Amino acid sequence: MPLITLTSDIGSQDFLVGAVKGQLLSANPDFNIVDISHNLSPFNYPQAAYVCRNAIKNFPDGTFHIVMVNLFDQPPEHLLFINYNNQYIGCADNGLITMILEEVPQDIVGISLNKSAQKNALYCADVFARAFNQILKGETLDDIGDRNIPIEVKNPLRALLGNNWIEGQIIFIDNFENVIINITKDEFEAQRRGRSFKIVFKRDEIIDKISDTYADVTESEKLALFNSAGYLEIAINKGNAAGLFGLQGYTENLNTQSQYLQNRLLYQTVKVFFE
């Protein structure tokens, strides 16, 4: 049974996610559809990249992934179809794929869109479903699309490094308002080099140890740990770190923020000092 994951910024308030699934199942009733998330923030590429990257890598070989995030950033002439580490990914040509994979994929084609077709999420779902069915029939990417198209490239959001510090951006706030920073455990340890450290945020909040679980500290106390994806996380045991500390997720597009949120840009970053 072919496995498909579906990730989007559509939300769950209306019919569209259900209709997309209906399109996929109409193309192939054997598709087994798994929802990753439909509540990604519009235009927030770092957030979408974090969610997609850390979900996709946990699926079995041969899984198909549809990423419907900012589908119409530009008037689309084609969609992208990628084979990466035996995972097939369909998405818009908006630069997100290079942020998800943290590199430019080599095995990638553009699928041309019908110029007369109405370009919407349902049409895109149909295009992806047809491509998936072609793969299932034994066809290759070269049978499906064009390798010679230039693609949009966006660089992944990286932490800033200094001799005695590392500064990361808040890329995700989860349902418990735990705050995830774009600093991985490997990056942290490579920069730390066995030294003591202080994690500093909101000017005067400091954490100087890494916990294994939330229960390592008393209730309502702040802590830092590396989450299941290996990223630095700031949390409060049985509390809401983002709300209580006034921490806001990073966004590249200030035009999508209110003036109030723009005034809180200071609290979109977390800095670690080593000594």
* 149 assigned to some structural domain: no
Q: Which residues pair with 174 in a beta bridge?
A: none
* 154 assigned to some structural domain: no
Asked whether residue 12 falls in the same domain as residue 128, the answer is: yes
**Number of structural domains found in the chain:** 2
State residue 259's pLDDT score: 44
Residue 246 — pLDDT band, cuts 50, 70, 90?
confident
Separation of alpha carbons 118 and 125, rounded Å: 12
Separation of alpha carbons 164 and 197, rounded Å: 9
Q: Burial of 166 by CB count in 10 Å (0-12 exposed, 13-18 middle, 19+ buried)?
A: buried
Separation of alpha carbons 27 and 156, rounded Å: 34
Asked whether residue 135 falls in the same domain as residue 206, the answer is: no
Residue corresponding to tokens 């809401």: 240
The answer, yes or no, to whether residue 254 has pLDDT greater than 90, is no
**pLDDT, tens digit, 9 for 90 and up, residues 201-222:** 886 899 999 999 999 999 999 9
- How much is the average pLDDT of 163-181? 95
Choose the final residue of a domain: 81, 114, 144.
144
Q: What is the pTM of this model?
A: 0.90
Asked whether residue 138 falls in the same domain as residue 167, the answer is: no
Q: Pull the structure tokens for residue 246.
A: 């006034």
Residue 265 — pLDDT band, cuts 50, 70, 90?
very low
The answer, yes or no, to whether residue 264 has pLDDT greater than 60, is no
Asked whether residue 21 falls in the same domain as residue 113, the answer is: yes
Asked whether residue 268 falls in the same domain as residue 216, the answer is: yes
**pLDDT, tens digit, 9 for 90 and up, residues 100-109:** 999 999 999 9
Cβ partners under 8 Å of residue 54, min gap 6 = 229
Q: Burial of 134 by CB count in 10 Å (0-12 exposed, 13-18 middle, 19+ buried)?
A: middle
Separation of alpha carbons 177 and 149, rounded Å: 41
Separation of alpha carbons 258 and 236, rounded Å: 27
Asked whether residue 117 falls in the same domain as residue 57, the answer is: yes
- How much is the average pLDDT of 128-140? 97
* Domain, as residue range, for 224: 160-274
State residue 251's pLDDT score: 66
Asked whether residue 129 falls in the same domain as residue 20, the answer is: yes
> Domain with 23 in it: what CATH number?
3.40.50.10790
- How much is the average pLDDT of 210-238? 97
89, amino acid identity: I
242, amino acid identity: A
State residue 260's pLDDT score: 44
Q: In 138-157, which positions are buried (b, 16+ CB within 10 angstroms) versus exposed (e)?
A: eeebeebbeeeeebeebebb
* 155 assigned to some structural domain: no
Lowest-pLDDT choice from 76-80, 125-129, 251-255? 251-255
